[in-house]
Structure 1
């Protein structure tokens, strides 16, 4: 077999030219295209990664916002519940206080009404006693409305201080329940002279409201000695007992 070196050389030259042409017009553009597409793919991947990271951040932010809103709603609900419980407790306490106040006011009003009724009853009883006493004594001799009260009048004068006796001796006034006769007047003068230590000429004033008895009035002293005074004293004592 013979080798044609000229043919081999030409073929080698053709191969070198072909490789150079392919390298010049095919390999480099293809490599550049591949590099460009690879860069685009990397850029798209980076953008996708950035979008994914942004989406994750948005998701985390949304989750955090939702958790914050849930916590805020829970706090608001708790605050509203606590406020409602506090208001309910305040209203219940206020209702209890108002009920207690009304109950106390009702008890006080009932007690006041009871006391008022008792006082009115006592007043009516006193008035009735005075009327009965007046009607009973109206059938007795008028002398019996004065003379029986002279001893108690003497005891009342004895209980006075010297200053009160001296004041009573100055222009004494004797209030009697019925017109006295001469015997009553003389007995009264003797009693006053004995108890006051000096003669006395009392002014006689008839006061039927006394019912029975004798009362003395002086410049600085008063001696109540009548059935009306006794009834007034009893009424006052009953009133104090009722209080």
Structure 2
């Protein structure tokens, strides 16, 4: 085989020129473009990584904000629940107090009404008793309205302490109350029996009070001795008023 060196050299020169041209106008621009694209890609990757990190940070912040909001909401709910419970307890306590006060007022009103009714009944009974007693006394001798009560008055005087009996004779003039004017015989009998009971002379002023109905009452500034039908009726009326109270 015979080699044509001129042809080989020419081909070699052509190859070198081609390689230089490719390197000058193709490989270097492509390498530059690739380097720029690689830098751009790296920059984009860095930006993406930064964006991802920022997104993660925002996500963490959002989660923390949600947790904080949940905690605040739970605290708000607890506070509202506690406040509502306290308000309910206050309302219930106020309602119970109002109910107790209303029951007490109603009980007091009922008791007042009962007392008023008892008082009215006692007054009616007293008036009826007075009317009955007056009608009965009209059928009896007039002397029985006085003479029949002298012994009871004398017994009441005898039951007094000595100092109280002495008080009638020494401290002013006592008053003897009768349902009608006394006859001379009744006046003398009263003075005699009263002086015997007191053990000393006695001067008294006579006062007429028809509301006594029957009986005698002796009194001074300190002591009152009542032996009359009016006193008995008043005692009965007072008993009618006090007996229901004692039963409570």
Superposition TM-score, scaled by structure 2 size? 0.83
Structure 1 residues 211-226: aligned runs within 5 Å: 211-226=213-228
Unaligned regions of 5+ residues in structure 1, if any? none
Structure-2 separation of matches of 1:4 and 1:218: 183
Q: CA deviation at 1:151?
A: 0.9
Structure-1 separation of matches of 2:78 and 2:229: 79
State the partner residue of 1:235: 237
State the partner residue of 1:106: 106
Say whether residues 1:118 and 2:103 are aligned partners.
no
State the partner residue of 1:172: 174
From 209, 212, 215, give the equivalent of 1:210: 212
Q: CA deviation at 1:95?
A: 4.0
Contact 1:143 1:180 in 2 (8 A): no
Structure-1 separation of matches of 2:99 and 2:133: 49
Q: CA deviation at 1:83?
A: 4.8
Moved more, 164-173 or 206-215: 164-173
Contact 1:168 1:219 in 2 (8 A): no
Structure 1 residues 38-77: aligned runs within 5 Å: 38-66=38-66, 68-69=68-69, 72-73=72-73, 76-77=76-77
Unaligned regions of 5+ residues in structure 2, if any? none
Moved more, 171-180 or 45-54: 45-54
- Give the alignment's Cα RMSD to 1 decimal: 2.7
Superposition TM-score, scaled by structure 1 size? 0.84
Structure-1 separation of matches of 2:16 and 2:184: 187
Q: CA deviation at 1:227?
A: 1.0
